[in-house]
């Protein structure tokens, strides 16, 4: 209780946080909303929108001011992800990966030369990607088969990565490879690989159920030669970078699912007030009121979990269990709320003329990426039960 007392009230925002939240919300509603359907159907992220995200400072929230970024808090990133997700989770996940994974990893583990090379670019022109997953290493992340062989002052990388978010838009990739397979996970090392590095190729883009504008691609490393100066952190310490960064990234996914649920609820509530049946608006039926009330209650509970985890992280307190809880619960809420929103719309919710159909499709990934729901439950159980 003493630790919690040090934190600000979870849902109480400072004036600066409120202004930032409202600015991002307005940007999303005015500039992203008109593009959502086209980007989803074409499975393509609008390049002009990517430039606007940089101009708004949303791609460099986590970059310290000395490197040209906004110097924002982790909580600022969470607010931005939440607001963007209410309009388009596919846009939010790009901003999420950029700030909570890529920039976060560079700030914490990058050498000064690496920070000065990449952080200004990540704040102004480069999207970044985080390449850990492979065909045989999803939940078992450290079963990865990508290899790194040392040759003097260079490393040669060989292998394939799957399901890598931001692949098409990125200029730099954090790629995890095993430099010493005999050492198991203690051989895993993180490398900074630029898009135009010889031997590095971006493969096919996945044809996904949801967040279709977000590029999720295979990465191919075939004799990819990387200078020793591009090792992020230390050789053999990649597992620590992966674990700790993903713990923080899960809060970002929680924020994404929270925002998605808020967006779906907003559409459902508006429709319930407009749509008439039996001579009166749907919202006047008690059954509809109760359904919307239950949805609102679950969303508020998810918000408290997400904000609590983010506040703990910013305060330098332990947050691993809370991150797992917020990711697990928010993904459950997002799927349930989006599904009920489709039902509020009835037949209209089943067609692409209305946005709830897309939000329902987008919600499913929340239970899968950056740690499945089963993995979150395993973390929660281990920590809650002191196993």
Residues 18-50 have pLDDT tens digits of 999 999 999 999 999 999 999 999 999 999 999
Supply the pLDDT for residue 4. 41
The yes-or-no verdict on residue 141 having pLDDT over 90 is no
Pick 10 or 63 by higher pLDDT. Answer: 63
What is the residue-averaged pLDDT of the chain?
A: 95
Two structure tokens written together for 107: 């700030």
pTM across the whole model: 0.95
- What would the pLDDT profile of 361-383 be if each residue is shown by its tens digit? 999 999 999 999 999 999 999 99
**6-10 long-range Cβ contacts below 8 angstroms, 24+ apart:** 6/315, 6/317, 7/308, 7/311, 7/312, 7/315, 8/311, 10/303, 10/304, 10/307, 10/308, 10/311
With the C-alpha atoms ordered 23, 297, 85, 323, is the resulting torsion angle positive or negative? positive
The predicted model gives 327-334 an average pLDDT of 98
pLDDT of residue 142: 80
Domain architecture of the chain: domains with CATH: 2-127 (1.10.540.10), 130-236 (2.40.110.10), 240-384 (1.20.140.10)
Asked if 370 is an active-site residue, the reply is yes
User: Is residue 302 pLDDT above 90, yes or no?
Assistant: yes
Catalytic residue among 82, 134, 357, 370: 370
Given a cut of 90, whether residue 308 has pLDDT beyond it is: yes
Element at 177 (helix H, strand E): strand 170-178
Distance in angstroms (rounded) separating the CA atoms of residues 103 and 94: 12
Percentage with pLDDT > 90 across the chain: 94
What pairing do the DSSP bridges indicate for beta strands 216-227 and 231-232? Answer: unpaired
How confident is the model over 167-189, as pLDDT tens digits? 999 999 999 999 999 999 999 99
| 193: CB partners within 8 A, 6+ apart | 157, 172, 173, 174, 175, 200, 221, 224, 226, 230
Give CA–CA dist 340/265, Å, rounded.
9
The tally of CA atoms less than 13 A away on the side-chain side of residue 71 is 5
């Amino acid at each position: 209780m003493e630790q919690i007392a040090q934190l600000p009230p979870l849902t109480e925002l400072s004036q600066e946080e409120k202004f930032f939240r409202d600015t991002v919300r307005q940007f999303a509603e005015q500039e992203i909303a008109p593009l959502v359907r086209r980007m989803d159907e074409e499975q393509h992220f609008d390049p002009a929108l990517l430039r606007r995200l940089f101009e708004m400072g949303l791609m460099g929230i986590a970059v310290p001011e000395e490197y040209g970024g906004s110097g924002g808090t982790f909580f600022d990133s969470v607010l931005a992800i939440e607001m963007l997700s209410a309009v388009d989770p596919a846009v939010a996940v790009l901003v999420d990966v950029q700030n909570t994974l890529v920039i976060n990893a560079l700030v914490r583990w990058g050498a000064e030369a690496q920070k000065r090379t990449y952080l200004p670019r990540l704040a102004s022109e480069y999207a970044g990607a985080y390449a850990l997953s492979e065909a045989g290493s999803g939940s078992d992340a450290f079963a990865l088969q990508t290899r790194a062989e040392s040759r003097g002052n260079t490393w040669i990388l060989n292998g394939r990565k799957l399901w890598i978010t931001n692949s098409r838009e990125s200029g730099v990739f954090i790629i995890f490879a095993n430099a010493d397979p005999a050492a198991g996970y203690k051989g895993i090392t993180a490398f900074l690989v630029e898009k135009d590095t010889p031997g590095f190729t971006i493969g096919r883009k996945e044809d996904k159920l949801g967040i279709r504008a977000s590029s999720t691609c295979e990465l191919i490393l075939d004799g990819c030669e990387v200078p020793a100066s591009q090792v992020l952190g230390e050789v053999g310490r990649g597992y620590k970078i992966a674990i700790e960064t993903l713990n923080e990234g899960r809060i970002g996914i929680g924020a994404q699912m929270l925002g998605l649920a808020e967006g779906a609820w907003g559409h459902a509530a508006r429709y319930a007030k407009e749509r008439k049946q039996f001579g009166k608006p749907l919202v006047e039926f008690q059954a509809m009121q109760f359904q919307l009330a239950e949805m609102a209650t679950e969303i508020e509970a998810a918000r408290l979990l997400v904000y609590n985890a983010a506040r703990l992280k910013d305060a330098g307190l332990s947050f691993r269990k809370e991150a797992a809880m917020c990711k697990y619960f928010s993904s459950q809420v997002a799927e349930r709320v989006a599904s009920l929103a489709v039902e509020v719309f009835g037949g209209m919710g089943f067609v692409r003329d209305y946005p709830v159909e897309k939000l329902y499709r987008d919600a499913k990934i929340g239970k899968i990426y950056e740690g499945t729901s089963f993995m979150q439950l395993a973390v929660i159980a281990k920590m809650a039960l002191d196993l």
